[in-house]
Amino acid sequence: MKPDIHPQYNPVTISCACGAKYETRSTKVYNVDVCSACHPFFTGKSKMLDTEGRVERFRKKYAMKK
């Protein structure tokens, strides 16, 4: 490897919006919105967000007719 051409690989803290912090090594600092502590897939607390009635409109449009 050539000397002095690679970026610094330092210990950093990755911060989540929920307040969780993870120590790792990287070339830059990260701030994430969702992590394994607050993501619905990992926590099992799934919630459906219905903005402007889109979910209901989808269900009505593709409903099975009897």
Cα–Cα distances (Å) from 12 to 3, 5, 7, 45, 55, in that order, read: 23, 21, 14, 29, 40
pLDDT digits (tens, 9 = 90+) for 12-53: 998 888 888 989 999 888 888 888 777 766 666 665 565 667
- For 10-61, the fitting CATH number among 1.10.3720.10, 4.10.80.400, 3.40.50.800, 3.30.70.100 is 4.10.80.400
Q: Where do the domains of the chain lie?
A: 10-61
Confidence at residue 1, expressed as pLDDT on a 0 to 100 scale = 67
* pTM of the complete model: 0.49
